Amino acid sequence: MSDKNLNTDTQKESSNLQTQEPPFGGQGGFISRFVPINMENIDTDQIIPARFLKATTKDGFGKNLFRDWRYYNDDASKTRADFPLNMSQFDGEILVAGKNFGCGSSREHAAWSILDYGFRVVVSSFFADIFKNNALNNGVLPVQVSDAFLQRIFLQDNNTELTVDLEQQTIRINPTGEQEQFEINSYKKTCLLNGYNDIDYLISLKEDIQEFETQRA
């Protein structure tokens, strides 16, 4: 069975709940400076430690993003001057990190904290699967680039702007013009461009799901 029209009709009908304002649909792409964290295997326990997962809402996780790398002794008044989030020269809505970003725990709180802090794009040369899904489900775009391109970004100065064009699936280092294509599954791309989400679509399949259950019984 297949559903060719999903990306247009079904979603439009069922989607009156748009969880995020889609920032990636505009002309010319998404332009921002970036914050580099040049470390590999950044796990979700670093992104948001477990002791901050006790909330029952999705709000307010940004202040604890990378909590134990940002502060000494869990004290928000003792900032670690050498951590990029604390360095005033870095700013922007794009986070750039080493390979295997988001490994470990499935906590969606990691994506919520990144979004709540103000990032809309994460660039890495490799993403852990669950984090990638969680990011996409929250309107945070994971952009997977080659190791070489990632190193090129890390070499740029702190005023450099990047352009992420979801429509064209490209990421560009603006001052140098270096550009790379990135992969994204076309369904997820359509969702992000239009602010659609999976749950509306799945709810619209109620009859198909019931039929499936009946056939298996």
Partner 1 sequence: MLCESYLSYVLCGKKQNMAKTLFEKIWEQHIVKTIDDGPSVLYIDRHFIHEVTSPQAFTGLNKRGINVLRPLQTIATADHNVPTLNQHLPIKEELSRLQVETLKKNCAEHGIELYGLGHPFQGIVHVIGPELGITQPGMTIVCGDSHTSTHGAFGAIAFGIGTSEVEMVFASQCLLQSKPKLMRINVEGELNKGVVSKDIVLYILSKITASGATGYAVEFAGSAIRALSMEARMTICNMSIEMGGRCGLIAPDETTFAYIEGKEFAPQGEAWQKKLGEWKQLYSDRDALFDNEIFINAEDIEPMITYGTNPGMGIGVTENIPTTETINDNDRSGLAKSLAYMGLQQGAAIKGQKIDYVFIGSCTNSRIEDLRMVASFVKGKHKADDVEVWIVPGSKQVEAQAIKEGIDKIFEEAGFVLRQPGCSACLGMNEDKIPAGKYCISTSNRNFEGRQGAGARTLLASPLTAAAAAITGYVTDPRSLPSKGVLRTNPSAGGAFNS
CA distance 171 to 190: 18
What span, in angstroms and rounded, lies between the C-alpha atoms of 75 and 67? 9
Q: Which is nearer to partner 1, 193 or 205 (CB)?
A: 205
Determine, following the binding rule CB under 8 A, whether residue 98 of this chain makes contact with partner 1: yes
58 binds partner 1 (CB under 8 A): yes
DSSP 36-51: EE--S--BHHHHS-GG
Is residue 103 near partner 1 by the rule CB under 8 A? yes
The binder of partner 1 chosen from 128, 140, 166, 173 (CB under 8 A): 128
198 touches partner 1 by CB under 8 A: yes
The secondary structure of residue 140, as a DSSP letter, is P
Q: Binder to partner 1 among 13, 74, 91, 167 (CB under 8 A)?
A: 74
Of 84, 110, 101, 93, whose CA–CA distance to 24 is shortest? 93
Please say whether the beta carbons of 193 and 166 come within 8 A: yes
Instruction: Kindly state the DSSP code that residue 76 receives in the 8-state scheme.
Output: T
Which amino acid, 40?
A: E
**Taking CB under 8 A as the rule, does residue 148 contact partner 1?**
no
**Residue closer to partner 1, measured from CB, 21 or 216:** 216
How many Å is the maximal CA-CA distance in the chain?
Answer: 61
Task: Choose, by CB under 8 A, the member of 21, 28, 54, 88 that binds partner 1.
Answer: 54
Q: Quick one: 14 or 174, whose CB is closer to partner 1?
A: 14
Give me the residues that bind partner 1 (CB under 8 A), please.
1-4, 6-7, 17, 39-41, 43, 45-46, 49-51, 53-58, 68, 73-74, 98-100, 103-109, 111, 126, 128-130, 133-134, 137-138, 185-188, 197-199, 201-203, 205-206, 208-209, 212-213, 216
